[in-house]
Structure formats: C-alpha cells, structure tokens
C-alpha cells in the first residue's frame, strides 16, 4: 500500500488524524466552564463533587459498551475481540474507585449513585451503545483513543490541579491520578489494534469520525457539569 500522507488507510495516517482530533478536543475542554475554573484557580469542592458525578456514568458504562462491542466482532477478528474483552475486564470496576474518591472528598455514596446523567452524558452514552451494537464496530477504536487519551493525558493533569487547589488527601483523587500513571504503552498498544483492522479506507474514515463525535459529546458532558 502507498504509505504517503492522505491515502487515508494506513495506520500512521489514522493515528495522525486521531492526534489532531485529540489536540482540538483538548482545546475545547480547556474552554469549558468547569475546566476554566480549575485552571484559573476558582475550583471549589462543590465543583469537584459535580465533576466526579459527571464522570461516573461514562466510566461505569465504558466497560459495558466495550463488552457489547466485543460481542459484535466477528470470527475474522478474534485478536481484537480478545483485546477489547481484556480492556473491559481491567476497567469495569474503576467506577468504584471514583465513588470512593467522592466519599473521601466529603460526599456520600447515595448522592453519587443516585445522581441523574447530565445532557452530555445522556448523548454520549446513547452514542456509545449505538455504535457498539453494530456488526464489527471498529469505529469505536476512535472512541477508545479519545476516552483512553483522557485517562492517560488529562486525568493526571486534572487530578494534580484538583489536589493542589483543594488541598485534598491522596485517597480523594485516586481515580484521576491513578489513571494517568501508565502512559508509555498507550500508543504502541493502540497501534497494534489499528493494524488489526487496517488498511481499509472505510474503516479508517469511520474510526476518525467516531473519534470526532465522541470528542464532541464528551466535551458536551463536561460543559453540562454544573455544581
């Protein structure tokens, strides 16, 4: 295959487009009222509580849509199915950690578990399960790039800012800080997954498109967080 830029079906081309989508996503996140408060030093404990409530739904559902996606992958792509299932197993209890942080920061389990999804979370959740329900939902690799990128790059940054602004103990920021710690293997593993479904121009387009939609809806979820 021609590996020059703009062929649109090569692993590095897709990675490059995803990197651009992520960079623009970071810019959009930085403009949301909640993250502005965090970076401008006006973040309160109420903001943190609302932040954790806002994140919980997507964290909880992450392993669920990943499992559903795995169940829709055909026998020609067993390796990808295995990777997704392993991912789902690794992550499906993470929301418990987030709940524990909420309690350590002064909230109650009842509050965080009983909270309603915000408008952005509703849209994001519907989108993820819709995509995961399609046969061979390879576009979701784009969604994983966005959501895992958040975990690898943004969570630690946010976690440290939250901790220093609010003077919270380690046990109140474990979800954000813990997620940011193992970023070295991130791109390499992702490259492996892409190579399992590429080259294929239609799949390449779908991965990038799914990343764009997921990034927009994720930012909407953060925009809709109001203490």
Partner 1 sequence: MTALRDAYITGTSAILPGAPVGNDQIEDHIGRICGRGSLLGRRALRWNGVKTRHYALDTQGAATDSNAGMCAKAVLGALDDARLGRGDLGYLAAATTQGDYLVPGHGVTVHGELGGGPLEVASFQSVCGSSLMAAKAAWLNIRAGEHQVAAACAGEFSSRWFQPAFYEGTTLVDAKGRLAAEADYLRFTLSDGAGAIIVEPAPRADRLSLKIDFIDVVSLAGDFEPCMWAGAPIATRADAAGVWSHTGPAAAHKAGAVALLQDFELLKRVIRAWVGVYLKKVDEGRIVPAAVDWLLCHYSAQSLRDELMSLLERTAGAIPVEKWFSNLPWVGNVGSASIWIMLDEFMRSGRLARGQKVLCVVPESGRSLVGFMMLEAV
Q: Which residue's entry shows tokens 């943004």?
A: 154
Is 23 one of the binding residues for partner 1 (CB under 8 A)? yes
Helix and strand totals (H; E) in the chain: 12, 0
Tokens of residue 217, six digits: 């809806």
Identify whether 199 is preceded by a cis peptide bond (ω within 30 of 0). Answer: yes
CB of 145 to partner 1, least distance (A): 12
Is 22 one of the binding residues for partner 1 (CB under 8 A)? yes
Tokens of residue 64, six digits: 């669920």
Crossing angle of the two packed helices 45-71 and 94-104, in degrees rounded to 10: 170
Pairwise CA distance, residues 128 & 147, whole Å: 11
Is 157 one of the binding residues for partner 1 (CB under 8 A)? yes
DSSP conformation letters of 111-122: HHHHPPPPHHHH
CB of 149 to partner 1, least distance (A): 10
**Which C-beta is closer to partner 1: that of 23 or that of 114?**
23
Is 6 one of the binding residues for partner 1 (CB under 8 A)? yes
**Which C-beta is closer to partner 1: that of 25 or that of 102?**
25
Pairwise CA distance, residues 56 & 62, whole Å: 10
Q: Which of 104, 108, 111, 92 is nearest to 54 (CA)?
A: 111
Considering only 9, 16, 104, 122, the residue that binds partner 1 (CB under 8 A) is: 16
The residue range among 33-41, 107-115, 171-179, 196-204 that interacts with partner 1, by the rule CB under 8 A, is 33-41
**Which C-beta is closer to partner 1: that of 31 or that of 108?**
31
Is 9 one of the binding residues for partner 1 (CB under 8 A)? no
Residues at the site binding partner 1, with contacts judged by CB under 8 A: 3-6, 10, 12-13, 15-17, 19-20, 22-24, 26-28, 30-31, 36, 39-41, 153, 157, 161, 183-184, 187, 191
């Amino acid at each position: 295959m021609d590996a020059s830029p703009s062929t649109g079906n090569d692993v590095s081309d897709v990675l490059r487009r995803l990197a651009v989508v992520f960079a623009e996503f970071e810019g959009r996140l930085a403009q949301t009222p909640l993250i502005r408060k965090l970076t401008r030093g006006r973040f309160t404990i109420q903001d943190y509580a609302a932040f954790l409530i806002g994140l919980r739904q997507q964290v909880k559902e992450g392993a669920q849509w990943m499992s559903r996606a795995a169940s829709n992958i055909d026998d020609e792509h067993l390796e990808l199915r295995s990777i997704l299932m392993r991912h789902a197993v690794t992550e499906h209890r993470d929301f418990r950690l987030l709940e524990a942080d909420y309690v350590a920061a002064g909230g109650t389990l009842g509050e965080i578990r009983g909270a309603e999804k915000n408008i952005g979370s509703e849209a994001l959740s519907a989108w993820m399960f819709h995509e995961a329900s399609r046969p061979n939902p390879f576009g979701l690799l784009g969604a994983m790039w966005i959501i895992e990128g958040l975990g690898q790059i943004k969570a630690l940054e946010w976690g440290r800012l939250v901790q220093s602004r609010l003077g919270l103990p380690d046990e109140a920021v474990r979800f954000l800080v813990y997620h940011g710690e193992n970023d070295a293997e991130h791109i390499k593993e992702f490259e492996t997954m892409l190579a399992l479904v590429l080259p294929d121009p239609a799949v390449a387009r779908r991965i990038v498109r799914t990343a764009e939609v997921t990034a927009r809806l994720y930012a909407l979820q953060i925009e809709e967080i109001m203490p």
